[in-house]
Chain A
Amino acid sequence: MVYTAFLTLFSHWRRHPGQLLALVAGLALATALWSGVQAINTEARTSYAEAAARLGQDQLDRLSRADGRPVPLADYVALRRAGYLVSPVITGEIRQGDARLRILGIDPLTAPPEAGAPALDGGDIDLASFFAPPGVVLMTEDTARSLPSGLPPILFRDGVPPNAAITDIGTAARLLDQPDPSYLLVARHQPSGLPPLAEATDLRLVSPGTDNDVSRLTDSFHLNLTAFGLLAFAVGLFIVHAAIGLAFEQRRATVRTLRALGMPLRGVLIAFGVELAGLALFSGALGLILGYAIAAALMPGVAGTLRGLYGAEIPGTLSFDPVWALAALGMTMAGATLAGAQALRRTARMPILAPANPRAWAQASARGMRVQALAAAILLITGAGLALFGGSLLTGFATLAALLLGAALILPAALGLILRLASGVARGAMAEWIFADTRQQLPGLSLALMALLLALAANIGVSTMVGSFRGTFIGWLDQRLAPELYVTTTDSEQAARLLTYLAPRTDVILPIVSVETTLAGRPGEVFGQRDHATYRDSWPLLQALPDAWDVLATGNAVLINEQLARFADLSLGDPLQIADGVTLPIAGVYSDYGNPAAQAIVTLDRFAVTFPDIGATRFALRLPAADAPDLARALREEFGLSEDAVINQAQIKRFSLDVFEQTFRVTGALNILTLGVAGFALLTSLLTLANLRLPQLAPVWALGLTRARLARLELMRSLILAALTFALALPFGLALAWVLLAIVNVEAFGWRLPMTIFPLDWLRLFALALVAAALAALSPALRLARVPATTLLKVFAHER
């Protein structure tokens, strides 16, 4: 019986393949975007977790120096001799031009089991050769594609983090020229009878999870992606809701007939449920495939972004995770249930002999509209409150969510109001009818229009942010990258020869020295630079003492980047410790986009005194721009420097812009997809309405309006609604941009950008919205233009 009912109901789709397509496409799109984003996030997170687990970061406490410098070897030995189970790690990065390799030097003799050091039982490692010079380094085959020179023999091992090599601590000490451990891992179980570790050492004990690890740094990025994924999913559900609603309305008569034939209600509901579940499963599977494809296509961009912006290494490839697939399918099922719940409920409540009268959906009552508007107002006020008083990334995103949801919810009421006002000033019966009829249609279209509003607002917001960012960033790059050439030497001996060679050939040589350290408790870098007009003229200072450069030149002050100033809440004149016993007042704050880490600048002399073991191997050269290419070529030939070791300004700018573009490529792609999905939602809604509106249009046709005219009016109505929606989306989009720039960016990256508006972009988007609406309305309008007169007549013939 249920089977028969199922077959009967399902036959509907055979007669309306377009609807079936809309339903499947909606579910598949929603699943695809959501699961694609989740796949990217999962892959990245797994990759961080692997990297962290490699050294037990996720489980083990660590000891490090408060100033971020290496732990003296003697301190390590003293702790061991006092009985504590700690294990040294020497880690650092080898850079040669673009080739970068993170070296993780572990001591297998003392590493706690949780540290998960590599298995040395692979057969190709001779134990003696692992420990004895020159040692061996373990890495993946991917990592080995681009490597700095001078490495010991390489062995391939799966599971080593990307762009990293694991080796014995002795080998790492030699490669990095650093005998002291970078930090100490603390075994979880210490021997009995010892005083607590914290009492035995001045080193800073950092518990897992509280450290500034990669996953925390990149959280904002993934939250961002997740938000977009959810938005896309929600928009996709609008389509599904529309398609299911339409199918339900059209099958009212069938359901009534089935019930009249004696089919119990439960049977009908089961048949509907099975149908929905089957469709959701099928579409979800389709969406999974699509989502995987989207994620795989975006993955290299995401990997590039994470590397460029956060220094986080993840593979540019995607692996299939069954948990991910199941979760996404579950999400699809839940979404389909949500979208179909209304239809099922109405079927359940339908009186057995009620006239099967398809109306243009249930008219939203004025009361319903008021409730929705009230909810919207509350959301918007909450959003404003969060924006004003929230202070974290999460409240930033909560503000975004409140803003978007509020905007969507208030849309029907706002449109209704506008239309009512418009009909007030409308002259002539025709115009009044159009406005009244449009208002009457609003409830049916409101979901699709809300989707359109979300997509438009997100588009405006994100493109304003990206545009503002790009403009500021390019200007800043121009200022900051003033030197014509940048040269990196391999060692100080080569640097000395280079300087002799360069002296007569350049105007100025500006050494660049830096050391990785901890600033105000965060990982950061201290730079030393010479006092020179290059910096005085072009370094972009956001805040500065009146004579900041002169104060800096005395060696008794420090410049810090905006990130550090914001994170540590530092301002002009505040003291900053840059090394043990060296604390300097802040003379200025400079903007430093694209860098997540804290940074401070002192003079070259101050740097040399504070960090005596670090010599200059990088140099910025000033010379006539026209001579730069020749000198670059000469340097490469004369000193055998690699392509990457001599970089001209233009190359750096290109590289920086590439990183920048990578960062927003993903966002841009998701944006376009969302808009596409919204257009599709509009199409399905209009299709739904088109069939149901015949009873309303037939009298107008009977009064003498031609079908072609009616169709044109339908088209126009869609355009008007899209235009009005756009008008509402604009302020919300700008508000969105403001939240992104002033709250989310500051929290996520530590810098604030001036907001620039791009009216031309809006025009483009406006045109896009109209095109989308026109495309969506075209097919229903055409159908109306060609509807046989008999069909319209039937409206009067069938007294339903």
Chain B
Amino acid sequence: MNVKIWTVCISLLATPLCAQGFAGLGTEAQGFAMPERPALFSFPTDHGPHPDYRIEWWYLTATLTGADGTDYGVQWTLFRSAIAPGDSQGWDTSQLWMGHAGLTTPDAHFSAERLARGGIGQAGARPDPFAAWIDDWAMTSTAAAGADALDALTVTARGPDFAYDLALAATGPLIFHGDGGYSVKSDQGQASYYYSQPFYNVTGTLDLPDGAIAVTGQAWLDREWSSQPLSDQQDGWDWVSLHFDNGARLMGFTLRGSGGGAYSSATWISPDGTVQSYPDGALTMTPLAQTEVAGRTVPTEWRIELPDRGLDVTTTPLNPQSWMDVSVSYWEGPIRMQGTHPGRGYLEMTGYD
């Protein structure tokens, strides 16, 4: 079958691109639950899936360094996408799952994809003890009793020619974006529930065609779910998660409107975990250099400004060819920042077709 076409659609469900593609998604969320203000979270339950919402993801990015000082980047994502609200067991499930794994080195970028349906145990997520998995790719809690389930994790994935196995330990609290976890995505009110664990220290192993490499570094986990996250006027997004050398962190994104407009949002995270959210317009992201990637022109160097924090950095990618060659392809890879706040981070760009 044309898996391509099909996955285009489930990917559309799972990424902000859905606004254009899937009938009904951008406009109505038939029968699905909608995010509401105020966002009231309950853990560990909310670490698990929310089958009444149309889409959801567990999204981990890690900036890593080998013993010889070489930079690496790793991505692990599990998307959930529902055809209809609610869950049931067996083949009749309405829940579909998609996993993406990426591994970036200075000269290569590996990516892999898995698809599965829920209901039979091949893929899914559960809050307690926390685990999210598809096939043998898994994100599993190793947190001590009493701690938040996401405080310690192991994360594994395997592609045709690469694999990785990481252990994560959080040094700070969960943080909540937007209005206490209610993250607005357009000026028409589209929103999602959105929280992160940005404080991970990482140790682990990367299996590359040339052999295994021990790595250490930092990681950032995003949790987000919604039923109608985008306006139908938006056709892609540029998103960053940044770890500054001074211990502060920044999440920022710009949703590109099809008419040329943009909607931005940012969350500043102090080293102690104090959070400040910034509304549309506070953050600006300006493309500086374009790269030919997989037959497209993609902006791979950016200037990022958040005047309120005196932030003015330019970013350069570890590997400008960090193209996720999956059913709906996008650019995702590790970056470094220079300027007022040097550091490392991850950049994701979608909708460059």
| A residues adjacent to B (C-beta < 8 A) | 73-74, 76-77, 80-83, 106-111, 113, 116-121, 127-128, 131-133, 168-170, 173-174, 179, 189, 191-194
Contacts and interface: CB of A to CB of B under 8 A. Distances in A.
B122 A77 contact: yes
Given A111-B1, A128-B84, A132-B94, 16 more contacts: A73-B120, A80-B116, A80-B136, A81-B121, A83-B136, A106-B1, A108-B6, A109-B3, A109-B117, A119-B5, A120-B2, A168-B91, A174-B92, A189-B160, A191-B158, A191-B160
B206 interface: no
B4 to A, nearest CB: 8
A118 B1 contact: yes
Interface string B96-125: 100000000000000010011100111000
Nearest to A171: B91
Contacts of B6: 108, 120, 127
A108 B136 contact: no
A188 to B, nearest CB: 11
B1 A119 contact: yes
Contacts of B239: none
A109 B133 contact: no
B161 interface: yes
Contacts of B162: 192
Contacts of B160: 189, 191-192
A119 B161 CA distance: 28
A109 B83 contact: no
Contacts of A121: 2, 5
B312 interface: no
Nearest to B112: A191
A192 B207 contact: yes
A194 B136 CA distance: 11
A81 B83 contact: no
Contacts of B245: none
The 6 closest A-B pairs by CB, nearest first: A117-B1, A170-B91, A83-B136, A109-B115, A121-B5, A119-B2
B159 interface: yes
B168 interface: no
B161 A192 contact: yes
A110 B159 contact: no
Contact of A132 (B9, B84, B136, B161): B84
B163 interface: yes
Contacts of B287: none
A132 B93 CA distance: 8
Contacts of B1: 106, 108, 111, 116-120
B98 to A, nearest CB: 9
Given A128-B83, A174-B92, A80 B2 contact: no
B121 A77 contact: yes
Nearest to B97: A109
A535 to B, nearest CB: 40
B91 to A, nearest CB: 3
A131 B9 CA distance: 13
Interface string B1-34: 1110110010000000000000000000000000
Contacts of B163: 191-193
A81 B3 contact: no
Contacts of A127: 6, 9, 83
B135 interface: yes
Nearest to A85: B135
A629 to B, nearest CB: 44
Contact of A173 (B84, B91, B94, B122): B91
Contacts of B5: 119-121
Contact of A83 (B91, B115, B158): B158
Contact of B3 (A76, A111, A132): A111
Given A127-B9, A191-B159, A192-B163, A107 B117 contact: yes
A792 to B, nearest CB: 81
Interface of B: 1-3, 5-6, 9, 83-84, 90-94, 96, 112, 115-117, 120-122, 133, 135-136, 158-163, 207
B331 to A, nearest CB: 24
A83 B135 contact: yes
A701 B91 CA distance: 94
Contacts of B120: 73, 76-77
Contacts of B121: 74, 77, 81
Contacts of B2: 119-121
Nearest to B123: A80
A109 B116 contact: yes
A127 B24 CA distance: 13
A120 to B, nearest CB: 5
Nearest to A130: B6
A50 B216 CA distance: 52
Nearest to A129: B83
A120 B3 CA distance: 8
Contacts of B117: 107, 109, 131, 170
Contacts of A174: 91-92
Contacts of B135: 80-81, 83
Contacts of B158: 83, 191-194
A677 B15 CA distance: 72
Given A77-B122, A80-B122, A133 B161 contact: no
Contact of B90 (A119, A179, A193): A179
A137 to B, nearest CB: 14
A118 B6 CA distance: 11
Contacts of A110: 115-116
A186 to B, nearest CB: 14
A730 B116 CA distance: 67
Contacts of A82: 136
A128 B12 CA distance: 13
A81 B133 contact: yes
B147 to A, nearest CB: 26
Contacts of A74: 121
A194 to B, nearest CB: 8
A183 to B, nearest CB: 16
22 contacts: A74-B121, A81-B135, A83-B135, A109-B96, A110-B115, A111-B1, A120-B1, A120-B2, A120-B5, A131-B83, A131-B94, A132-B83, A132-B92, A133-B92, A169-B91, A170-B93, A170-B117, A173-B90, A173-B91, A174-B91, A189-B160, A192-B160
Contacts of A116: 1
Contacts of A191: 112, 158-160, 163
Nearest to A113: B3
B332 to A, nearest CB: 20
Contact of A81 (B9, B122, B161): B122
B26 to A, nearest CB: 16
A128 B10 CA distance: 10
B105 to A, nearest CB: 16
B15 to A, nearest CB: 16
B25 to A, nearest CB: 11
A728 to B, nearest CB: 61
B84 A108 contact: no
A194 B90 CA distance: 28
Nearest to A190: B160
Given A80-B116, A120-B1, A131 B96 contact: yes
A81 B136 contact: yes
Q: Counting chain B CB atoms within 10 Å of each CB, which of A117, A120, A132, A191 scores highest? A: A191
Contacts of A179: 90-91
Given A77-B122, A83-B158, A108 B133 contact: no
A261 B122 CA distance: 90
Nearest to A115: B1
Nearest to A170: B91
B40 to A, nearest CB: 30
A434 to B, nearest CB: 77
B310 to A, nearest CB: 46
B342 to A, nearest CB: 36
Contacts of B122: 76-77, 80-81
A355 to B, nearest CB: 77
Q: Which of A77, A109, A110 has the most CB of B within 10 A?
A: A109
B231 to A, nearest CB: 22
